[in-house]
Amino acid sequence: MTELINGTGTGAGAGKGQGQGQGQGLSLVPKAEARQSLKDFKSDQEVRWCPGCGDYAILAAVQSFLPELGLKRENIVFVSGIGCSSRFPYYLNTYGVHSIHGRAPAIATGLAASRPDLSVWVITGDGDALSIGGNHLIHALRRNVNLNILLFNNRIYGLTKGQYSPTSEVGKITKSTPMGSLDKPFNPISLALGAEASFVARTLDSDRKHLQSVLREATAHRGASLVEIYQNCNIFNDNAFEPLKDPEVRDDITLKLEHGLPIASASKAVVRAADGGLEVVPRQSVDPARILVHDAHRPDPSVAFALSRLDEPAFEHVPIGIFRQVDRPSYDTLMAAQLEEAVAQKGQGDLAGLLTGGDTWRIG
């Protein structure tokens, strides 16, 4: 055990390759010997979200996805902050920390940076991640700490009973904003891309297949992955994402992002605008060759950023999927490399040598 966490050799070789990183993400996490099933990941704790909460769907999707990774359960850690979503770790039979409001990325950074053999997940919400914890989120992303960050975005404060959140639309009437909220909301995807996150995606609580496909890519990615999950709060902000779920309109407004494929919904397509930006046009009217082909691996994040702005005004068309997925050394790898470098230059740490290393003199 001590060997596992001690020493400086951990992380050697990981992320040093120049490939696209797929499959690298969990290469240092030991594999389970036996096949696993959903029930291996259910804890004995009673799940206590409101009936109908979108969190149930996400929990079920994660619990049924984890066996697919085939990792030793004891090498998985879920870290959360405070809020409804942050109860998540209690319901998974892995290691877990339910920490304090906004600080999960910071706590997880210390864990992931010192333990490359762990699969570390951060579970957070729009208030936790973008309000009180905004600073930690952007720094975890820019450092590319090896974390899977799941941001449950329901655009409302649930646990404190219904105040507007940093992703609520302007003019939101809530208990704390009876005359309507004044604040311009954050777009979490734009924010993450602004922090130059190496993996940024958006998915939906009710679409298990898509959610799990994104998780698959996120876990294969070594470094920080931010997955925004639109999640319904049926108590305080019901049907916030209804257009994306309504069979009548969802296929028209969902712009699916799939690497190498044209970006389009059933009736709309994304093309380069004359002013150099992006615009959404009726699909029928456009030459298919003009439709923007999604390149999630593009080193420069500016096109991904432009894509993240397409849902303004809200929900006329919403990009869903992986906005960005680029290879960049993971923070733990860089840190471990420095420790190795220090040993290579100075030899293993020698306490006696350190203490007597300055100018000394002897008495007696």
Partner 1 sequence: MTKQVQQLDRVIIRFAGDSGDGMQLTGDRFTAGTAEFGNDLSTLPNFPAEIRAPAGTLPGVSSFQLHFADHDILTPGDAPNVLVAMNPAALKANLADLPRGADIIANTDEFTKRNLAKVGYPANPLEDGSLAEWRLHAVPLTSLTVKALETFDISKKDAERAKNMFALGLLSWLYHRPTEHTVSFLQTKFARKPEIAKANIAAFQAGWNYGETTESFSVSYEVKPARLAPGLYRNISGNQALAYGLIAAGVQTGLPLFLGSYPITPASDILHELSKHKQFGIRTFQAEDEIAGVGAALGAAFGGALGVTTTSGPGVALKAETVGLAVTTELPLIVVDVQRAGPSTGMPTKTEQTDLLMALFGRNGESPLPVIAPMSPSDCFDAALEAARIAVAYRTPVMLLSDGYLANGSEPWRLPEIDDLPDLSAPFTTAPNGPDGAFLPFLRDPDTLARPWAVPGTPGLEHRIGGIEKADGTGNISYDPDNHDRMVRLRQAKIDGIDVSDLAVDDPGGQARVLVVGWGSTYGAIAAGVRRVRAAGGQVAQAHLRHLNPLPANTGEVLRRYDKVLLPEINLGQLALLLRARFLVDVISYNRVRGLPFKAEELAGVIQDVIDSGDRQ
Q: Which residues bind partner 1 (CB under 8 A)?
A: 1-2, 4-8, 43, 45, 72-77, 79, 82, 89-90, 93-100, 103, 106-115, 117-118, 135-136, 139, 335, 338-339, 341-343, 345-349, 351-352, 354-356, 358-364
Contact between 239 and 232 (Cβ < 8 Å): yes
- Cβ nearer to partner 1, comparing 209 with 362: 362
* Residue appearing with tokens 């910071």: 106
- Cβ nearer to partner 1, comparing 143 with 222: 143
Contact between 92 and 41 (Cβ < 8 Å): yes
Distances (CA, A) of 40 to 49, 96, 107, 120, 262: 21, 15, 26, 18, 39
Min CB(220)–partner 1 separation in Å: 21
- Cβ nearer to partner 1, comparing 260 with 357: 357
Contact between 331 and 112 (Cβ < 8 Å): yes
Min CB(227)–partner 1 separation in Å: 20
Min CB(138)–partner 1 separation in Å: 8
Min CB(72)–partner 1 separation in Å: 7
Residue-wise burial string across 96-130, b where 16 or more C-beta atoms lie within 10 A, e elsewhere: bbbbbbbbbbbbbbebbbebbebbbbbbbbbbbbb
Candidates 174, 165, 164, 169; CA nearest to 184 is: 169
Min CB(15)–partner 1 separation in Å: 17
- Cβ nearer to partner 1, comparing 139 with 272: 139
- Cβ nearer to partner 1, comparing 136 with 222: 136
Burial classification of residue 67, based on how many CB atoms lie within 10 Å of its CB (0-12 exposed, 13-18 middle, 19 or more buried): middle
Identity of the amino acid at 363: I
- φ, ψ for residue 124 (rounded to 5)? -150, 170
- Cβ nearer to partner 1, comparing 6 with 284: 6
Identity of the amino acid at 163: Q
- Cβ nearer to partner 1, comparing 151 with 306: 151
Min CB(284)–partner 1 separation in Å: 48
Q: How many residues would you count in the chain? A: 364
8-state DSSP, 133? T
* Residue appearing with tokens 């008495």: 363
- Cβ nearer to partner 1, comparing 152 with 241: 152
8-state DSSP, 129? I
Min CB(82)–partner 1 separation in Å: 8
Min CB(12)–partner 1 separation in Å: 14
